[in-house]
Homo-oligomer: A and B are copies of this chain.
Amino acid sequence: MPEEQKETEVVRLAHGSGGEAMGRLIRELILPRFDNPLLHALGDSAVFELPPGARLAFTTDSYVVDPVFFPGGDIGYLAVCGTVNDLAMAGARPLYLSAGLIVEEGLPMTDLERVLDSMARAAGLAGVQIVAGDTKVVARGAADKIFINTAGVGLVREGVSLGPERCRAGDAVLVSGPVGSHGIAVMAARQDFGLETGLTSDVAPLAGQVQALLEACPGVRVMRDPTRGGLAGVLTEIAAAAGLGVELREAAVPGKEAVRGACEILGFDPLFIANEGVFAAVVPAADSEIAVGALKQAGAAEAAWIGRLSGEDPGTVSVETVVGGRRIVVPLGDELLPRIC
């Protein structure tokens, strides 16, 4: 391949310089994929109107997943789904996203295009528009391929009021699908683990399932998506904020055989493995069946009741042991799984 042609096929520092090369990158790679009137204006901010009395949800996450491409997704798909899901957890209909890219000089342009394609596909699926963006390029070795930050705004559905403080002893704890697929799929994709699981990440936008749940069961207390720290992590946070204990029936927690197998080999607990396409919800006990039914109808085939809140051991998550006792799940203390999101 001639040297000249090669040069045009990687991201160069000039693509972040604010000059002509950056202008071309925006016009040729970014706008065609995300075009919408708000983004097209290319001003310093996107400006939009909101319905009267709107309550807005606002959130952000940076994505540094390694590898950038993994079975079932990539950093672009993840960056859109993750922020859409954080909005959905607040009971909001996701509306607009911003995207901030930090790219390492030398990234193949085809990799950048693949990532942008995935962002566009995820945004389309989730019904959001990317209306503001920023691209920085840093020299080789100053970042690892590509990092993406997304921030998002969404409209909180009327009448919806969520928060751990609304939880009561006796409430049911649900999860919308099998846990641990994302974390294990990403780890398996790393050469240094040498695992072959056949697993794919569960990364997906959750706004549809959340909407179905809220319509069937307006009394939902709180929802959280168990990314870093896994299901045990978010349930511990809910327990602490609610001043209640979470009692899990471990056998009821859905999980794939391949995840369980990999966790046994690596010495992990699936309850701590990151997810990107399932969420946990607390609902009044009486709504438990309706809620699980609504989730299943919305495509969450393995949604399940997995436990309940209690007044005992506030701030902790416990699981039944095989001999009928309970064991408290101890929060993560140290680096377990860096760069899974």
Contact across chains for B61 and A334 when beta carbons are under 8 A apart:
no
The answer for the CA separation of A326 and B132 in the assembled complex, in Å, is 35
User: Mostly helix, strand, loop or mixed at chain A's interface?
Assistant: mixed
Contact across chains for B151 and A43 when beta carbons are under 8 A apart:
no
Contact across chains for A149 and B19 when beta carbons are under 8 A apart:
no
The answer for the CA separation of A16 and B50 in the assembled complex, in Å, is 35
Chain B CB within 8 A of A224 CB: yes
Q: Which of A174-203 contact B (CB under 8 A)?
A: none
Cβ 8 A contact of A59, one of B46, B53, B136 = B46
CB distance from A279 to the nearest CB of B (A): 10
- One complex includes copies of this chain to the number of 2
In the bound complex, residues from chain B placing their C-beta under 8 Å from that of A163 are 41, 43
Q: Which of A1-44 contact B (CB under 8 A)?
A: 12-14, 16-23, 41-44
Cβ 8 A contact of A338, one of B138, B332, B335 = B138
Contact across chains for A233 and B19 when beta carbons are under 8 A apart:
yes
Residue with the highest number of chain B CB atoms closer than 10 Å, among A43, A85, A162, A233: A43
Contact across chains for A47 and B14 when beta carbons are under 8 A apart:
no
The answer for the CA separation of A96 and B60 in the assembled complex, in Å, is 12
In the bound complex, residues from chain B placing their C-beta under 8 Å from that of A134 are 60-62, 149
Can you spell out 16 A-B residue pairs with CB atoms less than 8 angstroms apart?
A12-B335, A14-B335, A18-B274, A18-B332, A19-B331, A21-B333, A22-B228, A42-B237, A44-B85, A45-B59, A45-B87, A49-B55, A58-B153, A62-B102, A132-B151, A136-B339
